[in-house]
Amino acid sequence: MWEDGDGDVDGDGTAEVFVLSTEEGVVGRASAGPDGIGFPEAMRLPPGDVPVAMKLVDTQDGPRLAVIASKEKRFSLDLLVFDGGEPQVIDLGRATRGPDTILDVDADQDGFGAGPVTLSCSPMAGQVTNAADCDDASNLVFPGAAEACADLALNAMMLTSARQYLSDYCDDIQLHFTSAVAIAPGESAQILHRDRGIWGGYLPRKVEPLFSTIWATTPFTRANGATQVVPGSQYWDKDRQPEPHEIAYAEMEPGSVLCYTGTVLHGGGANSTPDQVRTGVFMHYALSWLRQEENQYLSCPPEHARRLSPELRALIGYAKGGYVLGFYSDPDDPSAAYESVSPEHLFSQREERFGAIHGADHVVAESMK
């Protein structure tokens, strides 16, 4: 049997693959690189131990290769280290049949576990043979799961609305802020505010910078914290506060969406229920020339952005927002072939929305609207 090392286990810069042979009584470790997998080198086992099963596990001392081993009808769990040091041995005692599987707890029942591990002779309810789950509290999060939030960010109606609403002040829009917000029982109401305040009040009042959306993933009721909205407050003086009767509550069912602008007063409501959690997904769109509230390039660095669609990559900022706005130069390209180009070139895209101009006079004329 073999175990994929899931990349660089020991931090030496090379991915590992582990192999086990009960017949030969060895556990081997091989390096995996662009040229293939090397010949496995034997790892240190206690003398006389015959390996039966293995699994990569995380311990308080770092990653270890857990090996179930037998020795004259006694079984042990050997935790092998990667520097050739002495393995830690946990005696499992005598048995007519020893454990031959290392299982991980699958708390959210999505088929992917995250530990702790259990030793077993056969499958067990709530246990699985992998530890690939990065969030074992949610059955919506597992390797290969659909990018549900990507569909929300690219919702055609919302994108069209955002682009039309903000078109007077930009050539395109960008994804400004994403978050899932839960209001638990007993939480007080959020202060009413305007999201445009993120830029410190320096934008001219006539410029609307944001088109914001909140998608309900649970029911929104006034009792459980439905978002407070003050219709018409985008036209008010900045110091005016609403009267209670001027505050509306965005009560809606799951799958519904609330749309508002960055100049509208709003805030999360108070949750007075004993047991309801109100959860919503926030997707805010901004003018492409403003700095985003969420640093998308750290939240989604290039190695992750590669897995996104070109449209979503461009929306979060991996594209120019104007003729030369947002270009990059590849620091690892000594030929300078990609000097001052669109970030789309990072992903082998050669078509740029703002790749051509109509002439120098046009650029000068368009510099002052």
pLDDT per residue as tens digits for the range 306-322: 888 889 999 999 988 77
- DSSP assignment of 170-231: -S-EEEEEEEEEEE-TTPPPPPPB-GGGGGTT-S-TT---EEEEEEESS-B-TTTTPPEE-T
pLDDT value at residue 243: 96
Per-residue pLDDT, 169: 92
pLDDT for 42-78, tens place per residue? 998 999 899 988 888 877 777 888 888 888 878 888 8
Q: In whole angstroms, what is the distance from residue 38 CA to residue 67 CA?
A: 22
Is 136 or 147 the better-scoring residue by pLDDT? 147
* 198 Cβ neighbours under 8 A, 6+ residues apart: 293
Q: Reduce the DSSP state of residue 56 to 3 states and report it.
A: strand
Cα angle, residue 83 at apex, residues 80 and 88 outer, rounded to 5°: 30
| Residue in the block written with tokens 């769109």 | 285
Q: 67 — phi, psi (to 5°)?
A: -125, 125
What average pLDDT does range 157-161 have in this prediction? 96
Q: CA-CA distance, 215 to 301, in Å (whole number)?
A: 25
Nearest to 41 by CA among 63, 54, 26, 53: 26
* pTM of the complete model: 0.60
Q: Which amino acid is at 258?
A: L
Q: Are 357 and 363 in contact (CB under 8 A)?
A: yes
Structural domain boundaries in the chain: 2-99, 149-316, 319-369
Q: Considering only CA atoms, which of 333, 326, 335 is closest in space to residue 355?
A: 326
Cβ atoms of residues 57 and 63 within 8 Å: yes
pLDDT of residue 95: 64
Select the more confidently predicted residue: 19 or 138. Answer: 19
At 59, phi and psi to the nearest 5? Answer: -120, 175
With contact defined as beta carbons under 8 Å apart, do 349 and 312 qualify?
Answer: no
Closest Cα partner for 174 from 280, 284, 262, 325? 284
pLDDT value at position 369? Answer: 60
Average pLDDT value for residue range 277-300 = 94
In this predicted structure, what is the pLDDT of residue 104? 53
Q: Mean pLDDT in the chain?
A: 81
Q: Over the range 238-250, which residues count as b (16 or more CB within 10 Å of their CB) and which as e? A: eeeebeeeebeeb
- With a cut of 60, say whether residue 254 has pLDDT above it: yes
- Determine the straight-line distance between the first and last CA of the chain, rounded to whole angstroms: 67
Q: What is the rounded distance in angstroms from the CA atom of residue 79 to the CA atom of residue 81? A: 7
* 128 has pLDDT over 70: no
| CA atoms of 226 and 159, how far apart (whole Å) | 24
> CA-CA distance, 29 to 131, in Å (whole number)?
20
Distances from the Cα of 139 to the Cα of 134, 142, 276, angstroms: 11, 7, 19
**Domain over 149-316 is classified CATH 3.90.1530.10:** no
pLDDT for position 271? 97
